[in-house]
Structure 1
């Protein structure tokens, strides 16, 4: 069976590829090579395979070339789009910086207005206290005058009764007890005294009415001043509340911490009320004044807290956010890694500024971070400034917000000049941009 199939295949190959001979002739000899049907078939198949492979390879190369051209065009378009996006972000950042400056100017203006209104309020309270004291003095004088007028009226009535009883008067005159000239002078003096007392009483009533009218006008002015103060304090406090909330800080805990660090008190023991009535009770104006003073105290504590919390930006010149906070692809290994800060790329030597008041706890070269400055702030906050080219502070030095502490470099584990900026809350890293964005509305 196998022999028959082999013979049939061989006969088929002989019909398609008859045996051929290739003669190789030289100057002295002639040789030939016999090409069997199987050999010819193998040569044909091998040639066909090589030609097919060449065609497929050429097609693949052409497709790769076309795809590479399209990829380069796509990369070029993506690069242009990315550059435009960077320009838009730069313009937006400049606009936000201008808005922050305008907000800071409004905040300073509001503080100045609050200070002026507070001075006016204290002055009006002093005038009101003086007016109330003047009214009490006038009322006391008026009561004295009324008593004197009543005594004079009684004396005049007695003299008139004495003058009506002529017999008694004549008898007294004859006896020399009461001379008529003395009685006439006494009556005249009494009449003048009565007229003077009536005039003083009318003047006192007029003065009292004028004082009451002035007190009413002063109360209206005080109400206007209180309203302006309340609005100014509200406008000043609300942005600060929002700023700390956006940064993820508890305002109650923050104010409690500030109050604990700034709680010194003293002085003589005096009543809390400033009223001049002497009853020790607080009126509506005093309650409003105390509420405003409490809000101003809250505003002042917020001002202290903003100096000690890192709400400012560490760079003032142009920079690019080259790596955000959180997960990212490692620039060296390519694997997915966590990133505990924000990378801000800028030229070497760009100044780095402290973002809040604090104390330098590290100013040295650290593995991975390169040249590092670490500052401890209040409220359990810390900031780190890594990969610097030079450091301008030393360990233990007290720092104020805005101090020049280092310059951008590429020391440590870095692919190029940039600032690695970290913010830590109680030792745990948080997104630094949440603080920077929150502070844009105020600084």
Structure 2
């Protein structure tokens, strides 16, 4: 059965692939190679496979070339989009910087206006107290004048009663060489003159009292206007600072209390004013003024606290963000790792500035960080400035916000020139952009 199938297959192959002979002739001999049907089938299959492989390989190469070209074009388009986005972010950052500068100028103008208004308020209160004292003196003088007028009237009545009784008593009391009628006329004239003078003094005192009352009313209106302007200025000044601290996650009550306890220089807590020297309850104006002074004290504490917290950017020249806070792909190993700060990229030597008042606790080389500066601030906050090209501060040196502390570089574990900026609270790294964004509307 197997032989029969083989014979049938061989006959079919003979139809399509008949046996062929290839003759090889030399000078002395002639030989041939027999190509049987099976051999021809194998050779044909091999050639077909080779041609198919060549076609498939060529197609793959063409598709890969076309795909790589599209990928490069797509990469170029994405790069242009990314560059446009960076330019847009840079423009937005510059706009925010201008807005912050304008807000700072408005803030300083409001503080100057508050100082002027406070001086006007104190001078107006002093003037009002002087007017009140003058009214008291006028009223006491008026009362004395009224008593003198009543006494003169009593004397006039006595004289008139003596005249009606015949002047006996008057005659005995008259001085020598004068008649009772002359003495009586002189006494009546003096009494009338004193009465007229008392009436004139009383009318003048009433006019002065009316004028002073009118001045007091005008001063009260002026004081009320000054109070309203001061209250509005306090609201405009304190609200952004309070929002800034709350946006940064800092408890304002605890921060203000800490500043109040520890701050002892100029600009500390103000002493409330008292406009009463008689042991009386303070007036509504005094209570209002003391409330404003407490708000000014709060504003002052906020300003002190704002100087001691990192509410600023360490780079003031043109830059771009190259890495945010959080998990990212490591630029060296490619693995997913935590990035504890924010990276600012700019040219080498770009000046770097302290973001808050503090004390330098490290200034030197640190593994991975390269040239590193650490600054300790109030409220348990620490800032770090890494990969610097030059250090401009020393350990133990006290710095203020905006001081030039170093230059941008590429020291340590880096792939290019940039600043690695960290903020740590209680030793734990937090996102520095929380503080920078919170201060956008204030500084």
Normalised by the shorter chain, which TM-score bucket?
over 0.9
* Cα 1:389/1:167, change in 2 over 3 Å: closer
Offset, 1:395: 0.8
Deviation at 1:230, TM superposition (A): 0.7
Mind listing any 5+ residue stretches in structure 2 that lack a counterpart? none
1:195-274 alignment to 2 at 5 Å?
195-262=196-263, 273-274=274-275
1:101: which partner in 2? 101
User: 1:396 Cα shift?
Assistant: 0.8
**Match of 1:119?**
119
CA contact (8 A) 1:389 1:407 kept: yes
Contact kept, 8 Å, 1:172 with 1:178, in 2: the verdict is no
More divergent stretch after superposition (327-336 vs 350-359):
327-336
CA separation of 1:293/1:23 partners in 2, compared to 1, >3 Å: closer, same or farther?
Answer: same
Give deviations 1:346-401, integer Å, cap 9, x for gaps.
11111111011000011111111111001011111111100001101111110111
Deviation at 1:316, TM superposition (A): 0.9
CA distance, structure 1, for counterparts of residue 174 and residue 326 of structure 2: 122
Give the equivalent residue in structure 2 for 1:400: 400
Can you give the 5+ residue segments of structure 1 that lack an aligned partner in the other structure?
Answer: none
Structure 1 vs Structure 2 CA RMSD:
2.2
Alignment of 1:314-393 (within 5 A): 314-393=314-393
Q: Deviations over 1:221-279 (max 9, x none)?
A: 111111111111111111112211222222222212211213699xxxx9963135x25
After superposition, the C-alpha distances for 1:44-86 in whole angstroms (9 at most, x for unaligned) are 1111111000000001111111111111111111111111111
Farther off after superposition, 119-128 or 192-201: 192-201
Which string of whole-angstrom CA distances, capped at 9 and with x for unpartnered residues, describes residues 18-53 of structure 1?
A: 222211222333222222222211111111111000
The residue number in structure 1 matching 2:276 is 275
Partners of 2:21 and 2:422 lie apart in 1 by: 85
- Classify the secondary structure of the residue corresponding to 2:410: coil
Contact 2:273-2:289 within 8 A present in 1 as well: no
Query: In the aligned structure 1, how far is the partner of 2:26 from the partner of 2:360?
Result: 97
Give the TM-score of the pair, scaled to structure 2: 0.94
CA distance in 2, matches of 1:323, 1:361: 26
- How far apart are the structure 2 equivalents of 1:332 and 1:29? 74
- Distance 1:264-1:84 versus aligned 2 partners, 3 A rule: closer
CA contact under 8 A between 1:258 and 1:301: conserved in structure 2? Answer: yes
Report the equivalent of 1:431: 431
Contact 1:163 1:169 in 2 (8 A): no
Relative distance call for 1:167 and 1:210 in structure 2 (3 A) is closer
For the Cα contact (< 8 Å) 1:309–1:357, is it kept in 2?
A: yes
Give the aligned partner of residue 58 of structure 2. Answer: 58
Against the structure 1 CA distance between its residues 176 and 347, is the aligned structure 2 distance closer, same or farther, given a 3 Å change threshold?
closer
Equivalent position SS for 2:48 = helix
Cα distance 1:284–1:334, how it changes in 2: closer, same or farther (>3 A)?
same
Of stretches 426-435 and 62-71 in structure 1, the one that deviates more from structure 2 is 426-435
The answer to whether the Cα contact below 8 Å between 2:273 and 2:286 also exists between their aligned partners in 1 is: no
d(CA) in 2 for partners of 1:6, 1:184 = 180
Alignment TM-score, normalising by the size of structure 1: 0.94
- Contact (CA 8 Å) 2:388, 2:410: kept in 1 or not? yes
Query: Does residue 73 in structure 1 map to residue 73 in structure 2?
Result: yes
Residue of structure 2 in register with 1:35 after alignment: 35
Q: Secondary structure at the match of 2:23?
A: strand
Tell me the distance in 2 between the aligned counterparts of 1:14 and 1:336. Answer: 67
Aligned pairs, number: 438
Q: Deviations over 1:286-308 (max 9, x none)?
A: 12111111111111111111111
1:312-354 deviation per Cα after TM superposition (whole angstroms, max 9, x unaligned): 1100111110011111111111111111100111111111110
How far did residue 183 of structure 1 move?
Answer: 4.2
**Are the equivalent residues in 2 in contact too, given 1:273–1:280 (CA < 8 A)?**
no
Distance 1:229 1:435, change over 3 A: same
**2: CA distance between counterparts of 1:32 and 1:296?**
117
Counterpart position of 2:285: 285
